[in-house]
Structure 1
Amino acid sequence: MTSKMLPPFYLIVDDPSWLARLCPVGLKFAQLRIKDKSLPDISEAIRRGLEIARRYDCILVVNDYWQQAIDAGADWVHLGQEDLDTADVPALKRAGIRIGISTHTPAELERALALEPDYVALGPIFEPRGKTVDHAPQGLDRIREWKARIPCPLVAIGGIRVEQAAEVYAAGADSICVITDVLKAADPEQRCRNWLTEAGKKP
């Protein structure tokens, strides 16, 4: 996969209703990350999310729940480092599902690259606003370091505001992933438009 196949703006949502709101704005790459729900509810949310995303030609990445993603016919799954302990990566690949993997340290990057992912995510780039994390901000230099080491697209995530998009892209990110900067905005639709405008300027 080349970086040109990975849309430059990537949004994480926690409910399919966000896709119904933001796909019409032009969102083309999103992750459905659901916590603290029953497996039947998660399976239904994945099904609904895929239905909405496909209606708008948006790539939907399922976070964590790899078996439910296979069952629903998803095309993408995102795995954190803890997910790698239990996920059946060969089964995902047999199902033709593309895989993104979170990384924070050089050791985690080596573990991820051994699985030949379709993208690697690095974070947090800046101080996160939406959740507490165990890793210090990586900064722009780490983006440059990761980009020089990986053969697949690089996704930058964590604390990134739209006003910082240009410098993050310039450092080597193929795609920027956000949550809070859109979902907690006073006008999420307009903030999403702003991101899409910045992403469109990426070289």
Structure 2
Amino acid sequence: MNRKDLSLYLVTDKELAKDKALEDVVEEAVKGGVSMVQIREKEACSKDFYQLAASIKKVLEKYKVPLIINDRLDIALAVDADGLHIGQSDLPYHVARKILGPNKIIGLSVESTEQAKEANQLDVDYIGLSPVFSTQTKNDIAKPLELEGVKEIMSFSKHAAVAIGGINSENAADLIKAGADGIAVVSAIVCSPDPCKAANKLKQIVNMSLSHKATDT
């Protein structure tokens, strides 16, 4: 199992970036402390998705930050990404693992305690707790888990977990305290006029919270 740094996980959204090049947003975010990047482009055609992924991969290679592709196994293979993130209705984990091989990162979205228990039977590299709070960046979401849901899942999950959905500098520390290993954000960084500064602020909060958690245990 790959234990990657999930502390500050950026999920992209080209539409939210508006007139800014997504490659520039990603690079500034990584400079600010983003530890992993997932490209999620639901509306892009295959050619555009591939070209964007290949371009962002070049940026991330300079900083040794892993590139994760959302849903699209074909794109992950085409650009030789570091990993793939799948949802409950996507390609089954065992199929993705067979095709990608043992050394790629595979993350799985978990939307309930039942799904988290089922995920314990899989050798995924991490789970994405989604959504923690209500969010405007994804329409097809389940009922928010809230902090209590995160606490419950992390009390029995064997996997590292990153929380996503409505996360910002005001609630990031609470999620780490609840048991998450990191936070995943979209608009908190992509929509910021200064992605580097926004990422740095979140990174400091997460790192401080993780150090407090380590001390408490």
CA contact (8 A) 2:2 2:105 kept: no
Output the amino acid matched with 2:53. I
CA contact (8 A) 2:54 2:79 kept: yes
| Distance in 2, Cα, partners of 1:25 & 1:181 | 13
Q: Does the C-alpha gap of structure 1 residues 122 and 49 become closer, same or farther in structure 2, counting only changes over 3 Å? A: same
| Distance in 2, Cα, partners of 1:86 & 1:29 | 20
Match of 2:150 in 1: 143
Match of 2:19 in 1: none
Mapped pair 1:177 → 2:176? no
Mapped pair 1:194 → 2:215? no
Deviation at 1:57, TM superposition (A): 1.6
Mapped pair 1:166 → 2:176? no
Match of 2:60 in 1: 53
Higher RCO, 1 vs 2 (CA within 8 Å, ≥6 residues apart): 2
CA contact (8 A) 2:113 2:152 kept: no
Q: Which range is displaced more, 82-91 or 27-36?
A: 82-91
Deviation at 1:43, TM superposition (A): 1.5
Mapped pair 1:21 → 2:28? yes
Scaled by the length of structure 2, what TM-score is found? 0.83
C-alpha RMSD over aligned residues? 2.2
CA contact (8 A) 1:154 1:173 kept: yes
- 1:1-203 aligned at under 5 Å gives the runs 1=1, 5-14=4-13, 15-84=22-91, 88-94=95-101, 96-201=103-208, 202-203=210-211
Aligned length: 202
Output the amino acid matched with 1:161. N
Output the amino acid matched with 1:156. A
Q: Does the C-alpha gap of structure 1 residues 2 and 199 become closer, same or farther in structure 2, counting only changes over 3 Å? A: farther
- For residues 63-94 of structure 1, the C-alpha deviation after alignment (integer angstroms, 9 at most, x for no partner) is 11112212321111100111135983233442
| Distance in 2, Cα, partners of 1:46 & 1:69 | 8
Deviation at 1:21, TM superposition (A): 2.8
Output the amino acid matched with 2:8. F
Q: Does the C-alpha gap of structure 1 residues 6 and 13 become closer, same or farther in structure 2, counting only changes over 3 Å? A: same
| Distance in 2, Cα, partners of 1:17 & 1:164 | 26
Q: Does the C-alpha gap of structure 1 residues 34 and 134 become closer, same or farther in structure 2, counting only changes over 3 Å? A: closer
Task: In structure 2, list runs of 5 or more residues that go unmatched.
Answer: 14-21, 212-217
Q: Does the C-alpha gap of structure 1 residues 192 and 93 become closer, same or farther in structure 2, counting only changes over 3 Å? A: same
Identity percentage over the alignment?
Answer: 26
Q: Which range is displaced more, 33-42 or 77-86?
A: 77-86
Deviation at 1:138, TM superposition (A): 0.8
Task: In structure 1, list runs of 5 or more residues that go unmatched.
Answer: none
CA contact (8 A) 1:79 1:102 kept: yes
CA contact (8 A) 1:9 1:176 kept: yes
- For residues 81-138 of structure 1, the C-alpha deviation after alignment (integer angstroms, 9 at most, x for no partner) is 1113598323344262110000112332244333311001112111213233432221
Q: Does the C-alpha gap of structure 1 residues 93 and 69 become closer, same or farther in structure 2, counting only changes over 3 Å? A: closer
| Distance in 2, Cα, partners of 1:46 & 1:154 | 24
